[in-house]
Structure 1
Amino acid sequence: MIITDTHTHLYSEAFDEDRARVMEKAMDLGVKRFFVPAIDSSYTQNMLTLRNKYPENVFLMMGLHPTHVKEGFEQELEHVEQMLGQHQFYAVGEIGIDLYWDKSFLRQQQEAFRYQIRLAKQYKLPIVIHCREAFDEIFEILEEEKGDGLYGIFHCFTGDLEQAHRAISYNMKLGIGGVVTFKNGKIDTFLDEINIKHIVLETDAPYLAPAPYRGKRNESAYIIHVLEKLAGIYKRSKAEIAAVTTQNSKEVFGI
């Protein structure tokens, strides 16, 4: 059984003390593919170091996280573009709009999101979307940019059924992680109405740990709990869920 974690920040400081153990624990459970999103330029070297240590298992993305769109963000976008030209990446991400913490940079977030979508099209790469309290703003830009060149993953999908269908209409898979195990997560109430061909698994480690670890540091190994939850929702074996969602990830990332 090969499991794919399509979104894990393994280079995070949260793993500095035990990164090798965290990787080994996940791989022992069948998690063999780790897709690693960017945040900003300060983490780039850590990402490259991680990839060099686990070249068969770790696949990098490049992008500017919306919560890191601040004054002077244009320089960060230059870094993204420069890196895309110098190294192999498998997606532009995570990118998007986040209005949970701060709404004052909305215009800049919109600009950065559009710019990076166009970079993804230029490099024929998928995008990985971060959306927090910004579905309308995200959909507005996806509507502008829709077409064959636009595809990817709606990371940490927490919307309703209508929003799920709309995201899928823009050639997005839904990234399902620990939230599906939460009692108040809600997405578990309608996920069986979404064809599993539109679903990929993720952890967003070290964030959003699933039950029974909610509130603690998340790890890629905990994707097992997401897998078990989806097996129950779709009434299919864990091996089947792992196989289908891994195949879905291959369709997105091309590997």
Structure 2
Amino acid sequence: MMITDTHTHLYVEQFDDDRTEVIEKAISMGIKRFFIPAIDASYYSRMYELEQSFPENIFLMAGLHPTHVKKDYLRELSEVEKQLDNHKFYAIGEIGIDLYWDRTHLKEQVEAFQIQISWAKKRNLPIVIHCREAFDEIFDVLDQVNDENLTGIFHCFTGNREQAEKVLSYGFKMGIGGVVTFRNGGLDKFIGEIPLEHIVLETDSPYLAPTPFRGKRNESSYLMNILDKLADIYGCSTEKIAQITTHNSKEIFGV
């Protein structure tokens, strides 16, 4: 059984004490593909080290995370573009708009999002979208740029059924993670009505650990709990969920 974690920050400081063990544990459980989103320029050296350590398993993205978009965002974006020019990446991400923590730089977040979408189209790469309390703002941008060259994943989808339909209308996949296991998460109420061909699996580790690890450090091996929950919701085997969602990830990332 081949399983793909389409969104995991394995390079961050929370894994400094046991990174290799965490990855090897996940691989031993069949989770053999890890797609690694960027945060800002300060982390690329860590990302490259991770890729060198597990070249068959690690697939990198480049991008500027919306919570790291500040007044100097153009300088940060120039660093991202420099990385894109000099290294192989499989997506632009994670990018988007986050209004949960701070609305101060909404204008800059929108502009950074638009610029990075234009890079993705130019380079024939998918985008991986971070959206927190910003569905309307994200949809406004996507409505302006939507065409046959736009593809990607709505990472950590936590919206309602109507918002899910809007995501699918762009041809995007929905990244489903630990929230689907939360008793009050709401996703489990309708996700079973979304055909599996529109879904990919993710952990967003070290964040958003699924039940029964909620509140603790997340890791890629906990993808099995998400897999089990979806198998229960869809009334099918974990093997079927793994096979379809990994196929979906290959469709998006081209690898």
Q: Paired residue for 2:249?
A: 249
Q: Paired residue for 1:114?
A: 114
2-structure distance, mates of 1:27, 1:153: 23
Q: Paired residue for 1:74?
A: 74
Q: Paired residue for 2:56?
A: 56
Q: TM-score of the superposition, structure 2-length normalised?
A: 0.99
- The one-character-per-residue Cα deviations of 1:134-157 (angstroms, maximum 9, x if unpaired) are 000000000001011111000000
2-structure distance, mates of 1:177, 1:167: 16
Q: Paired residue for 1:193?
A: 193
- The one-character-per-residue Cα deviations of 1:75-129 (angstroms, maximum 9, x if unpaired) are 1111111111111000000000000000000000000000000000010000000
2-structure distance, mates of 1:162, 1:71: 34
One-letter code aligned to 1:119: W
Question: Percent of counterpart pairs with the same letter?
Answer: 62
2-structure distance, mates of 1:150, 1:165: 17
Q: Paired residue for 1:239?
A: 239
1-structure distance, mates of 2:117, 2:46: 24
Write out aligned runs for 1:129-208 (5 A). 129-208=129-208
Task: Tell me the secondary structure at the aligned position of residue 114 of structure 2.
Answer: helix
Task: Tell me the secondary structure at the aligned position of residue 173 of structure 2.
Answer: strand
- The one-character-per-residue Cα deviations of 1:169-224 (angstroms, maximum 9, x if unpaired) are 11210000000000011011001111100000000000000000000000000000
Report how many residues are paired: 255
For structure 2, list consecutive stretches of 5 or more residues without a partner in the other structure. none
Q: Paired residue for 1:42?
A: 42
Moved over 4 A (4+): none
> 1:69 offset after TM fit, Å?
0.2
**Over the residues paired in the alignment, what is the CA RMSD in angstroms?**
0.5
2-structure distance, mates of 1:77, 1:173: 25
Task: Tell me the secondary structure at the aligned position of residue 185 of structure 1.
Answer: coil
Task: Tell me the secondary structure at the aligned position of residue 179 of structure 2.
Answer: helix
One-letter code aligned to 1:107: K
Task: Tell me the secondary structure at the aligned position of residue 164 of structure 1.
Answer: helix
- The one-character-per-residue Cα deviations of 1:5-41 (angstroms, maximum 9, x if unpaired) are 0000000100000001000110011000000000000
2-structure distance, mates of 1:127, 1:80: 14
1-structure distance, mates of 2:86, 2:173: 27
1:33 has 2:33 as partner: yes
Task: Tell me the secondary structure at the aligned position of residue 44 of structure 1.
Answer: helix
2-structure distance, mates of 1:230, 1:143: 30
